[in-house]
Structure 1
Amino acid sequence: MPVSPAYRPEPRFFDLGPDYADAVTAADFPQTILRLRNDRAAAEVGLETLTDAEWIAAFGRFAPLPGQPGPIAMRYHGHQFRTYNPDLGDGRGFLAAQLRETPQAASDRVASDRPRLMDLGTKGSGRTPWSRGGDGRLTLKGGVREALAAAMLEALGVPTSRALSLIETGEALERGDEPSPTRSAVLVRLSHSHVRFGTFQRAAYLGRRDQIEALVEHVRALYHPQVAPGDAPGLLAAIVAASARLTARWIAAGFVHGVLNTDNLNVTGESFDYGPWRFLPFYDPGFTAAYFDQTGLYAFARQPEAVFWNLTQLAGCLKLVAEVEPLTDALNGFGPAYIRELRAAFLMRLGVLSLGEAADQRLLDATLALLREGGASLRWEPLFFDWFGGFASSARALSGPRARIYQGETFDAFRFALMEHEPDRIARLEHPMFAAREPEEMLIEEVEAIWSAIDADDDWAPFEAKLARLEAARAAWAFG
C-alpha cells in the first residue's frame, strides 16, 4: 500500500507482549461507504496520499499498513461510575497501528519538542475477546457524533483525538436506547496514546508488579521522557499536570464529557471516546451529558473532582512500585495545577495575554460571575466570541445581538478586568468569522438536526458544512 515518504511506523505498544493485548481480526462488513476522510489529520502521519480505494482497504477492511503487525484489542480494567469492573478491555475496537507524526506536524504545535507517537484506534470494528456479549459495532449516529465532538474540541484548543475516518458498513443494528434498527459504521481515530488509567488498574488487580514497572517505563519513555527512568511518582506528576490542563480546557470550552470512568482517561491528558457528550448552552454547574448519570457524578462542574478521583486510582496502582508519600505529593499538585490551567484556558478563550496571577484570577472570576448572572439569556460560547481579543472587541460586542445583556455592575467588573489585559495576536480578529453575528456552537439541537438529515434523507450536506465551518473556526481561533 503506497504511503507518503513522511509515514513512519512505530508499533511500540505491541512490544509489551501478550499480557497487555490480544491479536484480533476486524469484522467483514457487507458494505464500506466512505463518509468522512480527514486528510489534514492524515497528513500529520503520512497517510494523506492514499487513494479512496486504499483508504477503504486500510480503514474499512483493515488491510495492514506497512510496518504494522496487525490489530490488537488492548486489555484494561476500570471504575465505571466508581464501581470497579474487571471485565473490560477493547470490546468493539482495537489498536490498528502506531506511527510518528511528521516533523511538520510537530512544528505546527505550540511549544512542540518532537514528533509524537500516535495511535490509530478503532470503534465499531467487530467483536473481540472483551466484547462481553456485545456485537462489537458502532452506530452511524455514534460515529457522526464523535466526529462532530472532536472537531469542535480541536477548534476550541482542547487536547483531543481526531476522527480520521468514518465508513458506513451496511448493517442494521439493534439498540435499546435509540430507534432501531439503525445504521452502522466503523470509526478510526487518531490519538496520542490509548494507554488508560485502567491499563495500570488491570496490572495492579492481578498483583503484577512487573507489569506496572513495564508500563511505567513504556509510558515514561514514549510520552513523558522528561521523567527519569524508574521514577513512578515523577510519572504520576506528569500525568497529573496533563490531566489538569485537559480538565481546565474542558471547562473553558463548556464541555461535558459524560463518562469520566478510569478507562476513558489516558496517560497523555488527551480527551477521547465521545459517547453522551454535550456542550453547555449556558452556565449550569449541574449540567449532565448522560441520561444515565442520574446523580450528576460527571456533571459539568464536577469534572475536576472526577478527574482527581481517577488520578487517585492510578496512584493506588503505582503503590506497587513506589512509596506512598511521593505519590501523595504528586497527587496534591492537581489542585494548584488545575487553577493555573483554568486561568490560562480562560485567557486563551478570550484571546488576551497574561498580566500575572492576581489580574488573571480577577478576569476568571469576573467572567464566571457574568456567565452565572446571565443565566439562560447569555449562552456560553457567544460570550467568548463577542469579547475575543478583549477591549479591542468592545465595539463589535456592544453593537451585536447581546448588547442589551452587557450592562450592570457584574458586566462592568468583567469589562474592567478584561481591559487590564492586552490582546493576544490581535490580527486574528481580521478573520471573516469575527464579522459574523453568531459563533459556531455545538448544541444538542443542531447535532440532532444534522443526524436527522442523514437518517431521513441520506443528506450529508449539513454534516459536511458543519465540519467545514469548524475548520474555519479552528483557523480563526488559532489556539494551537
Structure 2
Amino acid sequence: MPLSPTYRPARNHLTLGDAFYDPVAAADFPAHILRFRNQEAAAQVGLDGLTDAEWIDHFGRFVPLPDNLPTPLALRYHGHQFRAYNPDLGDGRGFLFAQVRDVRDGRLLDIGTKGSGRTPWSRGGDGRLTLKGGVREILATEMLDALGVETSRSLSVIETGEALHRGDEPSPTRSCVLARLSHSHIRIGTFQRLAALDDQASLAHLVAYVMDTYFPDRAGAGDPALALFDIVCARVARLGAQWMGAGFVHGVLNTDNINVTGESFDYGPWRFLPRYDPGFTAAYFDHSGLYAFGRQPEALLWNLARLAECLLPLTNVDGLQKIFDDFPDRYGKEMNGVIVKRLGLSSLSEADDRALAAAAWRFLERSAIGFESLFFDWYGGTDSRHRAANGPNARLYEGADFEPLLRQIESHPARPGLDLSDPYFSRATPCTMLVDTVESIWQPIATDDDWGTLHTMLDTIAQMKAALSGPPPGSPA
C-alpha cells in the first residue's frame, strides 16, 4: 500500500556527521507478532495507511522507510547516572530508525527504538526489551499524553519470540521491540561526550545543528550557545512542572534521559503517585531517594548545570549563570499554570494563579486524597461543585482544610469551551495508572495472552484525553 501523501521523510541527523553515531543493523528476531500500533501517532506522520505486514517490515524487521535513513544509527553520548559520570553509554539497545515531519506543523520527529538488538554501546547487554517493559511504556506514554505532559509516543510494539532473563521480572519472560515517536533524541549526555573529549569544534557544530533544526526562530542569535541554554532551561522547567502536576515519577533522571526539546522519554521504573508524597520513589534501586517525586525539580536543575558546563567554552559564564538562576522562577510559573490547567480553570493574574496552586498543594498534602481525585472532582471549578459534593471524596471537601482552596477555585472561572457533560465526568472516580492497575493489565497477558484489559484501558485513556482536551480549535463552544 502506498504511503500517505502526508508522509514527509527527513534525514537531518546525517548532517551531524559520523562522529555522532554508528550505523547498525537490527536483530534478526525469530517471530514478529504485532501487539500494538498507534494509529493516532501514525497519522501524525503519514504512516497510518501501512498494512500490518508493511508495519511489521518497518517496525519489526526495520526495512528502511522510503527516502529515509538508509540504515539505523546508534547515537553516541555519555552521561551522569545517579550523579556518577559514565563515559561508556550510547544507544545500547535502541537506535534512531527514521526521521519524519509532523503533518500538522512540519516539526521534525524521530522514530527511535527500544529492544532492537545489540550495538557497539551495549556494554555486554543483550539489547532486548521485555514484553512487560513494552506494555508499561505504552501505558506511561498514553497516560502522560492524555494528561497534557510533553512526552514521546509509543508507536509500535511487536513481540519477538525470545525468552529473556531479567533480575527484576520472573524469568524467562517474553520479549518485544518498541518504536517510539519523539521530537528529539539529542540529550544533555550528547553534549557531555563532546566536552569530555574536548572536541570544541564538534560541540559548536552540535549547538548550531540543534538551533537550526529545532529552534529556527532563534537560530540567528548572536550567542547561539547561550540561546540554546535559555531554551533548554525553559523547556525543562515546563516538563518538570508537568510531571509534578501529573503526580508522575520518572525514576531515572540521568543526564542521558533529558533531551534538548524538553520532552519526557525512555520509561523504565516509572510510577504515578497514589497520593501526595514528596519522598515517593519509582526505582527500587534508588536507595537514597535521589529521584523521588519531590526532588525531581532539583534533579532537573542539577542536570542543567551539567549542560552549562559543556557550553562554557562557547559562551560566557555570567550569561549561563543568569539563565540558570532564573530556573526556579520559571519552574514556579509553569507549575502555577499546570495546576490551573489541571483544574480546568482559566488563568488570572500571576499572583492569583500562584495562590491557587499553593492552596492545591497544601490540600493534597493535608487531606491525603488520591492524587488524581482532586483534579477530577473539581475539574471546571465551581461548575463541578454538585458533582464533587456527591462523589466518594465529599467528606474531604466539607472540612476546614479545603476552605482555602475552595476560595481560590471560586475566584477562577472555568476554562472556555469546557464540557462537563462529557461521559468521562459521569464516572465516580478518575482514570488512574497506579502500579496495581499496571499489574492487573499485565497479568492476563502473562498468563492467558489476553490483551483485552489493555485495550479497554487504552480506550478509557483516549476518552479521558478527549474530555480534558476540550473541543478542537475552531469548534463552536
Q: TM-score range by the shorter chain?
A: over 0.9
What does residue 77 of structure 1 align with?
78
What does residue 399 of structure 2 align with?
408
Among residues 318, 324, 328, which one is paired with 1:325 in the alignment?
A: 318
What secondary structure, in the 3-state scheme, does the structure 1 residue paired with 2:181 have? Answer: strand
Among residues 364, 370, 389, which one is paired with 1:398 in the alignment?
A: 389
**Does residue 53 of structure 2 align to residue 53 of structure 1?**
yes
| Equivalences for residues 67-146 of structure 1 within 5 A | 67-68=67-68, 69-103=70-104, 106=105, 115-146=106-137
Unaligned stretches of 5+ in structure 2?
A: 473-477
Distance in structure 2 (CA, Å) of the matches to 1:451 and 1:274: 16
Distance in structure 1 (CA, Å) of the matches to 2:44 and 2:163: 34
- Opposite residue 263 of structure 2, the aligned amino acid is E
Distance in structure 2 (CA, Å) of the matches to 1:476 and 1:100: 27
- Any idea what the Cα deviations from partners look like across 1:343-398, whole Å, max 9, x if unmatched? 000001000011101111111111111111112xx100011000000111000000
Given that 1:212 and 1:320 are in contact with CA atoms closer than 8 Å, whether structure 2 keeps it comes out as: no
Cα drift, residue 86 of structure 1: 0.1
Among residues 234, 248, 260, which one is paired with 2:253 in the alignment?
A: 260
**Does residue 203 of structure 2 align to residue 240 of structure 1?**
no
- Opposite residue 409 of structure 1, the aligned amino acid is A
Among residues 283, 286, 290, which one is paired with 2:279 in the alignment?
A: 286
What does residue 41 of structure 2 align with?
41
What does residue 169 of structure 1 align with?
160
- Opposite residue 85 of structure 1, the aligned amino acid is N
- Opposite residue 467 of structure 2, the aligned amino acid is A
What does residue 292 of structure 2 align with?
299
Among residues 182, 185, 194, which one is paired with 2:173 in the alignment?
A: 182
Distance in structure 2 (CA, Å) of the matches to 1:396 and 1:128: 54
Distance in structure 1 (CA, Å) of the matches to 2:181 and 2:129: 17
Distance in structure 2 (CA, Å) of the matches to 1:121 and 1:196: 14
What does residue 429 of structure 1 align with?
420
State the superposition RMSD in angstroms. 1.0
Distance in structure 2 (CA, Å) of the matches to 1:14 and 1:34: 30
- Opposite residue 269 of structure 1, the aligned amino acid is G
Among residues 309, 313, 325, which one is paired with 1:316 in the alignment?
A: 309
What does residue 112 of structure 1 align with?
none
What does residue 351 of structure 2 align with?
358
- Any idea what the Cα deviations from partners look like across 1:132-176, whole Å, max 9, x if unmatched? 000000000000000000000000000000000000000000111
- Any idea what the Cα deviations from partners look like across 1:281-329, whole Å, max 9, x if unmatched? 0010000000000100000010000000000000100012111111111
Cα drift, residue 426 of structure 1: 4.7
- Provide the identity percentage: 56
**Number of equivalenced pairs:** 468
What does residue 342 of structure 2 align with?
349
- Any idea what the Cα deviations from partners look like across 1:101-159, whole Å, max 9, x if unmatched? 103xx3xxxxxxxx210000000000000000000000000000000000000000000
- Opposite residue 59 of structure 1, the aligned amino acid is F
Distance in structure 2 (CA, Å) of the matches to 1:59 and 1:419: 50
Between 165-174 and 225-234, report the one with greater CA deviation. 225-234
Among residues 356, 360, 371, which one is paired with 2:364 in the alignment?
A: 371
- Any idea what the Cα deviations from partners look like across 1:450-473, whole Å, max 9, x if unmatched? 111100110100011111110111
- Opposite residue 250 of structure 1, the aligned amino acid is W
**Does residue 441 of structure 2 align to residue 450 of structure 1?**
yes
Cα drift, residue 42 of structure 1: 0.3
Distance in structure 2 (CA, Å) of the matches to 1:333 and 1:52: 49
- TM-score, normalised relative to structure 1: 0.96
What secondary structure, in the 3-state scheme, does the structure 2 residue paired with 1:19 have? Answer: helix
- Opposite residue 255 of structure 1, the aligned amino acid is F
| Equivalences for residues 11-30 of structure 1 within 5 A | 11-30=11-30
Unaligned stretches of 5+ in structure 1?
A: 107-114
What does residue 204 of structure 2 align with?
213
Cα drift, residue 226 of structure 1: 2.5
What does residue 111 of structure 1 align with?
none
Given that 2:34 and 2:158 are in contact with CA atoms closer than 8 Å, whether structure 1 keeps it comes out as: yes
- Any idea what the Cα deviations from partners look like across 1:203-234, whole Å, max 9, x if unmatched? 00000001111110111111122323552111
- Opposite residue 8 of structure 2, the aligned amino acid is R
What does residue 337 of structure 1 align with?
330
Given that 1:74 and 1:95 are in contact with CA atoms closer than 8 Å, whether structure 2 keeps it comes out as: yes
- Opposite residue 176 of structure 1, the aligned amino acid is G
Given that 2:94 and 2:127 are in contact with CA atoms closer than 8 Å, whether structure 1 keeps it comes out as: yes
Given that 2:444 and 2:451 are in contact with CA atoms closer than 8 Å, whether structure 1 keeps it comes out as: yes
Given that 2:21 and 2:74 are in contact with CA atoms closer than 8 Å, whether structure 1 keeps it comes out as: yes
Given that 1:366 and 1:410 are in contact with CA atoms closer than 8 Å, whether structure 2 keeps it comes out as: no
